Amino acid sequence: MSALSDTDLINKAQDGDESAFNELVCRYDRNVLALTLKYVNDRDDAKDIYQEVFLRVFRGLKNFKFKSEFSTWLYRITVNVCLTFIKSGKKQSMIRINSDMENDDIDYIVGSDDKANSPDELLSRNEFTDNVKEALEKLSPKQKMIFVLKHFEGYKIREIASMIGCGEGTVKKYLFEANHKLRDQLSELYA
């Protein structure tokens, strides 16, 4: 028996089938939790956001009209809940990229190679990772969210625009500003 598509599961869930809704949650729960963890860096806060996201999905699924992909709609809700969490002032100090982030994530930004593994190189990389995280903390919540979605989650500009609910030009503007701020902050340290 083949797995049901998202559309089939949504239709069943809209008809009251709880197991169909649970299957949707299982398909996307790791992605939602990973995104929230990268944004708030606190497992308890991320779990609270995760629960709020799926509570909103549960409440709103009956009104889902298939005007976008389910995943786009879900990530839009996730982004909005994260931004609301930040704006509400809850643990404002927790606005940073996950400290458990793999060094590979930072390598993606700086383009370092795997050959540099001496103790001095590793120490230097860890220091650079800390400096990047600190610089990311200084971005506005929307700049940071868009930067994370683009560079850590790998979404395309149009996908981010759909998730955030704005135009592609606005996403590009936020990315440009975030990149410029990060470049300025890091160039002061590494000039």
> CA-CA distance, 184 to 59, in Å (whole number)?
43
Among 60, 92, 124, where does a domain finish? 92
Q: Are residues 104 and 184 in the same domain?
A: yes
pTM: 0.58
- Which residue range is the domain that position 68 belongs to? 1-92
Q: Are residues 30 and 84 in the same domain?
A: yes
- The sign of the torsion formed by the CA atoms of 93, 122, 128, 113 equals negative
Sequential pLDDT tens for the chain (191 residues): 458 899 999 999 999 999 999 999 999 999 899 888 887 878 888 888 999 999 999 999 999 999 888 988 998 899 889 888 877 765 433 333 333 333 333 333 333 344 445 565 555 556 666 777 777 878 888 888 888 888 877 788 888 888 888 899 999 999 889 888 888 887 776 65
Among 92, 116, 150, where does a domain finish? 92
Among 92, 116, 140, where does a domain finish? 92
Residue in 8, 1, 41 with CA at minimum distance from that of residue 152:
41
Q: How many CB atoms lie within 10 A of CB 23?
A: 17
Q: Are residues 19 and 31 in the same domain?
A: yes
Count: domains in the chain: 2
Q: Are residues 54 and 79 in the same domain?
A: yes
Q: Are residues 102 and 25 in the same domain?
A: no
CATH of the domain at 29: 1.10.1740.10
